[in-house]
Structure 1
Amino acid sequence: MCDKAAEERVAADGRGVELVVRVDDAGLSEGVNHAIVEALRGPVARSVSVMAAAPAAAHAAGLLGSVPGVVCGLHVTLTSEWEQVRWGPVLPPARVPSLVDADGLFLRTTAELQERGGADPDEVAAEITAQLDRLRGWGLTVHYLDEHMGAGWVDGVGPAVRAVAAAEGLLDADRRAAPLPLPATGDTAAALPAAVQACPPGGPRVLITHPGFDDPALRALRGTGFPDGGVGLVRDADRRMLTDGGLWEAVRAAGAVFTDFARLAP
C-alpha cells in the first residue's frame, strides 16, 4: 500500500502525513517471528527491525527472505530486558566489556548501562558492525538502523550509531522519522485515525509496533513494567491491529500516506 505518487503529492502540497509502520523485535522468539511475517503480509507494515543478538534471530532471517517487499533494519540491541530470556553481544564479551555484566550478557536496561558510566563508543560501533555482519551473513539486505529500548541517549551509544550508519550508507531511522503522537490511552488502534488527523506538519512519522501471539513464550516473559502475562496480550493486540484492513483504510482516509524506510533513505 506504499504509494510513491501519493508521497510526492504530500511533499508538494504539505497535506497528509507520511507514515512508516515499523514492526520491532524480530528474533525475540519463533512465535514473534511468525506474527511479524503475518503483519508484513498485511495492509501497511513493510519495515521490520531485527535483533541480531536475540535467540530466534536466525529463524527470523529465514522467514523474512520469503516476504515480498520487506524492508529490513538492524534493531541495534545493547540491552537484554527480560527475566526469562537473556542474551549477550554478537562479539565475544571480552571485546565489549563496557556492554556486559559478569556473566557476559547485556545489562537489563539502558538506565543500568548509563549508571555504570555509559558505553565505550568504539565497543558499541564494533558490536553494531558485528550485528550487521550477522544479518547480512544470513542473506538479509539491511536498509536502516534503529535502537532497541531507545539506547541512543546513553553516553557513547548515539554517536556510535550515527557513525556506523554513515560508514555503512544506512538510514539512521530514529533520527529520520519522529514518532506519531498518540494519546496515552493504551488503545492504539482506536486512536490512530484521530492521531493522524491531528498530527502537526513536518517530516515523516513512524508508528512502532511489536506484534506477537498470546502464546506461552510471551505469556511467560516478565520485565519492563508488564503485569504477569501482559506481554502476550499487548503484542497480540498489535498483531491484530496490523492485519485489520478496515482500520488502515480509515487511517488512510484520515490523511496517512504509507511509506517505508527504504523510500526515506537519501
Structure 2
Amino acid sequence: MTGLVVRVDDAGLSESVNESIREALRGPAARSVSLMVPAPAAAHAARILKPLPAVVRGLHVTLTSEWEQYRWRPVLSARAVPSLVDTDGFLPRTAEELHRRGGVDPREARAEIEAQLLRAREWGFDVRYVDEHMGVGWVRGAGEAIRAVAAAHGLIDADRTVPPLDGPPNEVPNTDRPGAWLPDAVRKAGPGPRVLITHPGRDDGDLRALRGIGFRDGGVGALRDADRRMLADHALWTDVRAAGADLTDYVALAAAF
C-alpha cells in the first residue's frame, strides 16, 4: 500500500488560485495545503482555507519570487535579511541565484522563516508542517534554517520526510483527462509514503499573464487548470485507490511511523 499525500501548493499566489485551492480541498483527494506567506493574496488564502475541516496546513517556506512582473518581498525588512533579497529588495527569482551569491545567512533565513510562520499563525492558520517553495532547501544556509525552524516549533519537515511520486515531466498534460497516469505511478511506487504535489488554478487572465522560468509562453494557466480538474475527478481517485493508494496526510503519516 502506498500512503499518498496529495498536497496543494502556492496558496496566496492570487485570490483566483486560492478559490481553486479551496475547491480542491473540498474534493476527493487533497487534504494538505501549503501557504506562501509573502505572496500578495496570502491573507485571503488563510481566511478562506482556515474553516475547512480535515485539512492539514503547512508553511510553504518562500525565499524566492520567480515571476518576471509579479514579485514579492520577505516578511522582514530588506535591512534585516540582506542575504535574502536582490538589489530591489525582492526575494531573488531562483534558488540558483541565491546559490551563485554564496547561499544565504542561516540566521537571516531562520528569522525570515519564523516571521512567515508567525504571520501565518496570526492569521489563524494552524501550521503543522513546512515545505520548500521552488525546492530552495539545497541552497547553503537555507536547508539548515528550515530544519532548525521545524525542530524548534515541532513541525514536520515535509520535503525531507516524504519522497515525491514519480510522474510525467512538468509540461502541459493531456487535457482530456489530467492525471490519467496516476494509477500506474502508484502501482510502480509500491509500499511506503509518497507525495503528489499539485498547483490548482484556473486558466484565467491572471495566470496566463505570468511569465517566468520554464513558462515563457504563458502556459501556467493551462497547467494549473489541469491540476484543478484532476483534483476534482472522483472516478480518477477511485482508480488511484484501487491501484493501491491510501490517501493520507503528513500528520497521519507521522503518527503511523
TM-score (ref. length: structure 1):
0.92
Q: Secondary structure at the match of 2:19?
A: helix
User: What is aligned with 2:214?
Assistant: 225
User: What is aligned with 2:229?
Assistant: 240
Percent sequence identity is 66
Structure 2 CA distance, aligned partners of 1:108 and 1:86? 8
**1:1-44 alpha-carbon deviations (Å, 9 max, x no partner):** xxxxxxxxxxxxxxx10000000000000000000000000001
Structure 1 CA distance, aligned partners of 2:93 and 2:21? 24
Structure 1 CA distance, aligned partners of 2:169 and 2:189? 15
**1:35-64 alpha-carbon deviations (Å, 9 max, x no partner):** 000000000101000000000000000101
Structure 2 CA distance, aligned partners of 1:153 and 1:65? 30
The structural deviation recorded for 1:66 is: 2.1
Counterpart AA for 1:154: V
Which structure 2 residues correspond to residues 9-158 of structure 1 after superposition, within 5 A?
16-158=1-143
For structure 1, which runs of at least 5 residues remain unmatched after alignment? Answer: 1-15
Q: Secondary structure at the match of 2:229?
A: helix
The structural deviation recorded for 1:104 is: 1.0
User: What is aligned with 2:181?
Assistant: 191
Structure 2 CA distance, aligned partners of 1:214 and 1:84? 18
Q: Conserved in 2, the CA contact under 8 Å of 1:84 and 1:220?
A: no
**1:59-115 alpha-carbon deviations (Å, 9 max, x no partner):** 000101121111110000000000121001000111100000111110000000000
Aligned pairs, number: 250
Does residue 257 of structure 2 align to residue 265 of structure 1? Answer: no
Structure 1 CA distance, aligned partners of 2:124 and 2:170? 40
| 161-170 or 224-233, which deviates more | 224-233
Q: After the TM superposition, which segments of 4 or more aligned residues of structure 1 sit over 2 Å from their partners?
A: 183-188
Q: 1:262 to 1:158 in 2, by over 3 A?
A: same
Q: Conserved in 2, the CA contact under 8 Å of 1:22 and 1:209?
A: yes
Q: Secondary structure at the match of 2:52?
A: coil
The structural deviation recorded for 1:121 is: 0.4
Counterpart AA for 2:72: W
The structural deviation recorded for 1:180 is: 0.4
Structure 2 CA distance, aligned partners of 1:257 and 1:70? 16
Structure 1 CA distance, aligned partners of 2:92 and 2:157? 24
Q: Conserved in 2, the CA contact under 8 Å of 1:48 and 1:72?
A: yes
Q: Secondary structure at the match of 2:159?
A: helix
Q: Conserved in 2, the CA contact under 8 Å of 1:48 and 1:71?
A: yes
Which structure 2 residues correspond to residues 195-214 of structure 1 after superposition, within 5 A?
195-201=185-191, 203-214=192-203
For structure 2, which runs of at least 5 residues remain unmatched after alignment? Answer: none
